[in-house]
Amino acid sequence: MLGARIELVNVTKQYETPLGDGVAALRNVSLTIRKGEYIGVLGMNGSGKSTLARLLNGLIKPTEGKVYVNGLSTDKPANLTEIRRSVGMLFQNPDNQLVCPVVEEEIAFGLENLGLPLPEIRRRIEWALYVCGLEDKRYHAPHLLSGGQKQMVALASVLAMLPEYLVLDEPTSMLDPISRRNLIAQLQVLNKEEGVTVIFISHNPEDLIQADRLIVLEQGSVYMDGTPRDVFLSEEIRNLELGRPAVYQLIGELEASGLTVPSNVKSIDELVGY
């Protein structure tokens, strides 16, 4: 189980309830996430998305099966420090991730805990502020920033740890449309230019059109796994009430009327350009 990838092997996660009747949030899921991929994970509420996110960095353990990060199993406590360094997590509500009074300190916090030398801490802070567009917010108080800016500070803090894999669990659900677009654009840069593997989890199909691969969860199982185009133009996706991104509704209609739209068209802007 070596190699630069995350692997889920026959993973089932069952939660115990106070009444003793278990809920299987994931059922026998096997998946490989290769380094460098930009993956979207789509599913309705309750389909198992957050459970998958928390399994990926060992926050929770499978009831059955195994999760390996770069060959290290998450069920061995001795592996967890290394695994959590490799897999960064960004959650829905940035307020739960921000603990310091100043943006710069927030980004430094995890780095100081790693015991890194000061010049390295400074270098990483500069880089994280730059890639998240926060250079002018360096001395601001995170709690006084907008929701979108707070999410960027949380992202900068995670990125400063140089994770190989970045797992984002519904990161846009508290953002306005402009902040949402900014975050998605930033993820694209991080993946394509910095080589960060992105695993973006959402119930909103519009969030995931930039992904190279889309995994659809339904009732704890992998329902589909393919390119966004293949998934969103398929009949199967219509069986779920997730909706389709506007760009794929248009592509679907154009193709039904006999036009062929190139497979690299992923947005309305590109479609209009074409």
Which residues of this chain interact with ligand ADP, rule CB under 6 A?
15, 17, 23, 25, 43, 45-51
DSSP 147: H
- 19 or 272: CB nearest ligand ADP: 19
Compute the least distance from the CB of residue 69 to ligand ADP, in Å.
19
Which two structure tokens, joined as six digits, stand for 11?
């993973």
- 203 or 229: CB nearest ligand ADP: 203
- 53 or 183: CB nearest ligand ADP: 53
Which strands form 23-34's sheet, in the order they lie side by side?
Answer: 23-34, 5-15, 64-69, 72-73
- 106 or 169: CB nearest ligand ADP: 169
Compute the least distance from the CB of residue 215 to ligand ADP, in Å.
12
- 104 or 169: CB nearest ligand ADP: 169
Q: Give the up-direction half-sphere exposure of residue 212: CA atoms within 13 A in the CB hemisphere.
A: 13
Compute the least distance from the CB of residue 222 to ligand ADP, in Å.
13
Compute the least distance from the CB of residue 123 to ligand ADP, in Å.
36
- The region, left, alpha or beta by phi > 0 then psi within -120 to 50, assigned to residue 217 is beta
- 45 or 96: CB nearest ligand ADP: 45
222 vs 43: CA distance, rounded Å? 10
- 106 or 170: CB nearest ligand ADP: 170
Compute the least distance from the CB of residue 240 to ligand ADP, in Å.
12
What residues have CB less than 8 Å from 164, skipping those under 6 apart? 4, 35, 70, 86, 87, 196, 197
Compute the least distance from the CB of residue 92 to ligand ADP, in Å.
10
- 29 or 156: CB nearest ligand ADP: 29
274 vs 271: CA distance, rounded Å? 5
Which two structure tokens, joined as six digits, stand for 76?
């061995």
Compute the least distance from the CB of residue 201 to ligand ADP, in Å.
7
70 vs 165: CA distance, rounded Å? 10
Compute the least distance from the CB of residue 272 to ligand ADP, in Å.
33
145 vs 104: CA distance, rounded Å? 13
Which two structure tokens, joined as six digits, stand for 222?
């992998």
268 vs 251: CA distance, rounded Å? 9
What are residue 218's DSSP bridge partners? 221
At residue 156, φ and ψ (nearest 5 deg) are -60, -40
